[in-house]
Amino acid sequence: MSIPVPDAQRMPMNEQTTLIAARIRSLRMAQHISQQAFASAMGLESRRSVAAIESAARGVTPEELARAAELLGVELDALRDPFRLVGEGRFSFRVQAITAAELSQFEDRAGRWVATYRECARPLAETGPSGGAKRRIFSAWEGEDVEVACRKLWMAWDLGPAPAERLGQAIEQHVGALILNVDGPEGLSSGVCYLRDHHTIFLNRGAAPERRALDIARALFRLLAWEELPPGRIERDVPPRGRVSRGRQLADSFAAALVMPSLLMQARWAARLREDLGTWMLRTSGHLQVSVPALGARLLELGLVQDGQLVSTLAHGAQQQHRAEPRMLFSRMFIAPIADAVNSRRLLVRRAAGILELSPLAFAELCRAYGCPLRDGLPP
């Protein structure tokens, strides 16, 4: 017997059965309920019936679905709605100060965005490189010096003289990861969702522009090295003294070496000639899209300056950073398949707008701004 779902989220029956099977299994295991105990509570003959459901060998009736949701303590849509992440995807966030409730609420929102992209992109086969491709990138430099590894990546991805300008596009192209500009809770700097074929980087779109490239590069490291060095769910922007994990140290070193590659920095330093250090650092930090303190730390790391030379320059440079207008919400890679789903009647415009927390009018305008206009124009 088929399971009724709203038209705007209807899936082929085999996909729907697989989705429900995976979610029942994930939620049951998370609550440490055995298959035998679950079978008894469901009124099924034996644990084999549960195994058949969880392997998608057989579907569930509407009555069984409702009973399973009740036993697992979730609403019905948690088992059948493809526009949600339930029991899948792992998150890690870099934060300043944020409450646990705020972070959980944002994680739920972010999961809906990722799940919506996955569902809408499925017919277009816009899934990006697989986890195998990701592992090949990582193993290409695993165990090497970070400088050597990032130099290889810088050249392989042709990031050029200003890596920050091309880094996001290169990640979308070579890793297949989404990079989303979002309005998160105050105190959220960035985040990642590790989900096979749909890895996602979340950036606070109102953050200072000189943070963006390094935040992207740190998030990239987390995705590439997730299985080998899994991050915690929460990382502080400024970690407690003496409590910096190896993964965080490597992520920070990787980011600096990718956004400010040693060969590029040495060439720019050699071209400086007699230019005043402060003037050069202000100009160079702007070109590289990093803060003056981050540039100073990189110069120290490469042995190009001495610590004493930077004190007055950093104090002056910290006053020169300017905030830019927030970037457009989300990204074109994200919006394009959602607009296509609306245009092909696979997703209702109001449902899409609701998931993205926009009015239908604002959603339509965002689609148009990204060059993906809705065929029916602006909704009434």
DSSP 114-127: HHHHHHHHGGGT--
- Based on its alpha-carbon atoms, the radius of gyration of the chain, rounded to whole angstroms, reads 24
| pLDDT value of residue 335 | 98
Write out pLDDT tens, residues 141-164: 454 588 888 999 999 999 999 999
| pLDDT value of residue 130 | 45
Return the percentage of the chain with pLDDT > 70, whole number: 87
> Which residues, including other chains, have CB under 8 Å from residue 339's CB and lie 6 or more apart?
367, 370, 372, 373, 374
| pLDDT value of residue 255 | 96
Q: Which residue has the tokens 């070109």?
A: 287
| pLDDT value of residue 266 | 96
Binned at pLDDT 50, 70 and 90, residue 6 comes out as: very low
Nearest residue to 44 (alpha-carbon basis) of 21, 30, 60: 60
Write out pLDDT tens, residues 18-68: 889 989 998 999 899 999 999 999 998 889 999 999 999 988 999 999 999
Write out pLDDT tens, residues 207-263: 889 999 999 999 999 999 998 889 989 888 777 776 778 888 899 999 999 999 999
Q: Please, are residues 257 and 265 in contact by the beta-carbon 8 Å criterion?
A: no
The per-residue DSSP string of 130-141 comes to: -HHHHHHHHHTT
Cα torsion for 65, 71, 72, 78, to the nearest 10°? 30
Region 320-336 average pLDDT: 85
Nearest residue to 115 (alpha-carbon basis) of 371, 352, 372, 363: 352
Binned at pLDDT 50, 70 and 90, residue 265 comes out as: very high
Region 169-196 average pLDDT: 93
| pLDDT value of residue 87 | 81
> From CA 55, how far away is CA 58, in angstroms rounded?
8
Binned at pLDDT 50, 70 and 90, residue 132 comes out as: very low
| pLDDT value of residue 379 | 54
> From CA 192, how far away is CA 90, in angstroms rounded?
8
Parallel, antiparallel, or unpaired: how do β-strands 200-204 and 178-182 relate?
parallel
Q: How far is CA 3 from CA 13, 38, 63, 76, in A?
A: 9, 20, 9, 11
Q: Please say if the pLDDT value at position 4 is more than 50.
A: no
Q: Which of the listed CATH numbers 2.40.50.140, 1.10.260.40, 3.40.50.300, 2.40.160.50 matches domain 7-80?
A: 1.10.260.40
> From CA 343, how far away is CA 52, in angstroms rounded?
37
Q: Which two tokens stand for residue 37?
A: 């105990």
> Which residues, including other chains, have CB under 8 Å from residue 333's CB and lie 6 or more apart?
126, 172, 178, 179
Answer positive or negative: Cα dihedral of 134, 159, 244, 114.
negative
Q: Which two tokens stand for residue 147?
A: 């400088």
